[in-house]
Chains A and B, each alone.
Chain A
Amino acid sequence: MTTNEYTKSELMIVNAARELAGERVVFVGVGIPNIAVNLAQRTGSPDMEMVYEAGVFGARPTRLPLSIGDPCLVTGSTLACGMPDLFMYYLQGGLIDVGFLGGAQIDRYGNINTTVIGDYENPKVRLPGSGGACEIALLAKKIMIITRMQRRRFPEKVDFVTSAGFLGGDNEREKLNAPGKGPTVVVTDVGVLRFHPETHEMYLAALHPGATVDQARENVGWDLRVADELGATEPPMTEELHIIREELDPKGIYRK
């Protein structure tokens, strides 16, 4: 059963979780990615192995981890290890199917900036930095991104490439010594964006219920292309919202 009563964040979380259907080993980023992946594991992908950079493989958290180092990630997990093991053998060793990231800024060709707005030496805004994102972007087989669609978050070109997407587009990424294929999808609160198979430019692939093409175009810093056959996402199911509201985020930190 679908419903019409949900927030934009819930819509974004639900659609991100659906994108993960059938994926096996997912590297989970902090914040909204965390809740989306946990929702996916509890709905369409019960066999999903959630990997956290803090050193956990196969987490089965019984509450929403506020941070990516929450103790609930360890209790009941398949494996807890030191961070050298996690980064060297699991990530660099090629075991990660999907890196699931949030992004402060993402540009036309899927490059992510979580470092600075403005000049590096004299930043307008100092952001947290890479964390594990720089290497996840290169080493996970593919990257999925979840972020709100706002013009400041979608510039034509990021001020600082923290984590490489397709760099300047076309085949530029192939010149990198990177095993991963790069970003495949960006799930937002307006719709779902994907990347052209040759130019690797981000385009609007589907709109959420009630959203318009103009809304999407107004919120990016370049002339956004729209798919010839523009899709429409399904509204959230009652069950999905129930899990988000009752189990994953009862305090409403992420779903507002």
Chain B
Amino acid sequence: MSKLMTMQDAVAEFVHDGDSVAIEGFTHLICFAAGHEIIRQQKRNLELCRLTPDLIYDQMVAAGCARKLVFSWAGNPGVGSLHALRRAVEKGIPNPIEIEEYSHFGMVSRFVAGAAKLPFYPLRSYAGSDLPVANPRIKSLRSPYDENDEVYVVPPLNPDVSIIHVQRADEQGNAQMWGLVGVGKEAAFAADRLIIVAEDIVDESVIRADPNRTMIPGVIVDAVVHEPYSAHPSYTQGYYDRDNDFYLEYDGISRDQEKLEAWLDEWVYGVSGRVEYVEKLGEGKMAGLQPGEAYAEPLNYGSYR
């Protein structure tokens, strides 16, 4: 059965006020289209989880969607600060938000525990750091096999809904990704509800021809959204480059709440969805972000009849 839905319907059905939400993707495959739809539908009191909040959570915080942020590195990657997030943390604008902070390895381990349905996950980080003081959910534990070996543990992260952008999926949600896959797979398995957003919808036979590249099986997927360019200004490996100019430009836009609200009015509330957003960017924009070609050699899985 096809799980194809529009972004509007998928967000309306599977993202609820008060949910914990993980729109994952480490620099790569960040589903801005889903974040913008959540802003348009004025979802409220969300607990936003991501290793790197990036511009998308900065915009969702500025739009008043968030009550809490769970993260490990909150900056504009390669540029500087996330200004809306800083306004919310430092000044409570537009609303105060609670933060729960880890390191990358801590967040990675939380998603692994969430995906594997474990009560916690051990890691060799945090010794000597003040992070466990700031966040008492980071605890230490002695190994039951060696009392001299002390590790830290973090709790599982099981988002109410995860939204994962991929290069291609079939209509059942069997999804293939390549390039930096981050914690996309773990965030998918950890979630109660899962939305897959794909650049291309392909026939099941395309998936079956290259099973090693399938990161997410359709059996755990609730909705499949076909929405090209959903990751802009982030990128999709092999499809379009990161719009680094926008990441730089956003620094100026986001320093001022009014200016950022005007940007949201124009680029989020002012468009019906990603198709209109891409049209508004103009033909030259996405064309200018097309990468050159670098194909892998075809490989032989073998036919065994």
Contacts and interface: CB of A to CB of B under 8 A. Distances in A.
A209 interface: no
A55 B78 contact: no
What is the size category of the interface that chain A forms with chain B?
35 or more
Interface string B152-182: 0000000000000000000000000011111
A74 B180 contact: yes
Interface stretch (B126-134, B191-199, B217-225, B259-267): B126-134
Nearest to B240: A71
Contacts, number: 175
* 8 cross-chain pairs, A with B, having the tightest CB-CB distances, nearest first: A69-B27, A164-B128, A128-B75, A131-B73, A135-B125, A67-B77, A130-B103, A134-B103
Given A128-B75, A139-B124, A162-B129, A70 B27 contact: yes
Given A69-B180, A87-B109, A135-B104, 17 more contacts: A53-B104, A56-B180, A65-B78, A66-B79, A74-B179, A74-B180, A80-B179, A84-B108, A91-B105, A92-B124, A115-B101, A129-B71, A138-B125, A139-B124, A162-B129, A176-B128, A178-B127
B44 interface: no
A60 to B, nearest CB: 12
Given A115-B130, A132-B104, A82 B125 contact: no
What is the size category of the interface that chain B forms with chain A?
35 or more
Interface in A107-151: 111, 115, 120, 123, 125-126, 128-135, 138-139
B78 A120 contact: no
Nearest to A166: B128
Interface in A221-249: none
Interface in A163-183: 163-164, 167, 173, 176-179
A201 B101 CA distance: 29
Contacts of B65: none
Contacts of B109: 84, 87
A66 B79 CA distance: 8
B126 to A, nearest CB: 6
Interface of B: 26-28, 51-52, 71-75, 77-79, 81-82, 85-86, 89-90, 101-106, 108-109, 111-112, 123-131, 134, 149-151, 178-186, 235, 237, 241-242, 244, 247, 291, 294
- Chain A interface mostly: loop
Contact of A128 (B74, B102, B131): B74
A55 B103 contact: no
B54 to A, nearest CB: 10
A238 to B, nearest CB: 28
A84 B242 contact: no
A154 B26 CA distance: 31
B39 to A, nearest CB: 22
A211 interface: no
Given A134-B105, A162-B129, A129 B74 contact: yes
A130 B294 contact: no
13 contacts: A54-B27, A67-B77, A67-B78, A67-B242, A69-B180, A82-B182, A82-B183, A115-B131, A123-B90, A126-B89, A162-B131, A176-B128, A178-B127
Given A69-B28, A82-B183, A131-B72, A163 B105 contact: no
Contact of A75 (B71, B79, B294): B294
Contacts of A177: 124, 127, 149-151
A31 interface: yes
A81 B186 CA distance: 13
A55 B104 contact: no
Given A129-B72, A167-B128, A71 B105 contact: no
